[in-house]
Amino acid sequence: MHRTICPAECVGDEIEYFLDSGHASTVSYTHVRPFSFSHLCVSASFEKVTGFIGHNITLPCLYNAQTYGVLRVCWGQDWVPMSKCSNTILSSKGEAVLFRQSPKYQLLGRVMEGDVSMTIVNAQRTDAGVYGCRVEIPGLLNDIKINIRLTMEEGWTHLDLCNIGKMSAIIFLPVILILAVLISKFKFTVRLSVISI
């Protein structure tokens, strides 16, 4: 999935997209200006992502690798500050991971093409919160900064699917037995009527 980072035309829009797990997620684009002097300004985009407990959740972060080349990226567990990342959980340059707090944090996108979205593997309720992605673009205050608020909801789990299977068996087994009895009774009645003719 390729999207631009909060272009002017999508500010205020909500875009729904489907995750690999088949669940829908909504991204709201807003534009935040946390620091501004006359002609000097730093901007960041803010997104909301809803994840499902027990599923992989991908937090989007993209840049134009054709224009900028391979850049250093950091992900933190807090709002993106003026420099670096807060509470860094993952940093990389291209496909080389420089730091990873836990194996649950992965870059599974096309990193060399600028897709540095971070996937949280087997996300849990405790993974909810604010995450920040910083793409370090050379020059004064050129960095791309994306803040994402992740909320977690109950999702389908293997246990839920097993319970559905058990409930189906409990409900449909008696129905199948009743149908089998009715069919055999019908066949017996048809045989008796044929014999009596």
Establish if 1 belongs to a structural domain. no
Which domain covers residue 189, as residue numbers?
Answer: 157-197
Radius of gyration of the chain (CA): 27
pLDDT 10s digits, 169-181: 677 777 787 888 8
Residues 6 or more apart in contact with residue 183 via CB below 8 angstroms: none
Report the CATH number at residue 48.
2.60.40.10
Residue 20 half-sphere exposure toward CB, CA atoms < 13 A: 12
Residues 80 and 109 in one domain: yes
Residues 60 and 137 in one domain: yes
pLDDT given for residue 98 in this prediction: 96
Residues 80 and 120 in one domain: yes
Say whether pLDDT at 62 is over 80: yes
Say whether pLDDT at 16 is over 50: no
Residue 4 half-sphere exposure toward CB, CA atoms < 13 A: 6
Residues 89 and 123 in one domain: yes
Residues 148 and 161 in one domain: no
Residues 115 and 184 in one domain: no
Establish if 2 belongs to a structural domain. no
Q: What is the pTM of this model?
A: 0.61
Residues 130 and 68 in one domain: yes
Residues 194 and 146 in one domain: no
Residues 22 and 89 in one domain: yes
3 state SS of 181: helix
Establish if 75 belongs to a structural domain. yes
Residues 50 and 19 in one domain: yes
pLDDT 10s digits, 110-148: 999 999 999 999 999 999 999 999 999 998 888 999 999
Establish if 46 belongs to a structural domain. yes
Q: Give, rounded to a whole angstrom, the gap between the first and last alpha carbons of the chain.
A: 72
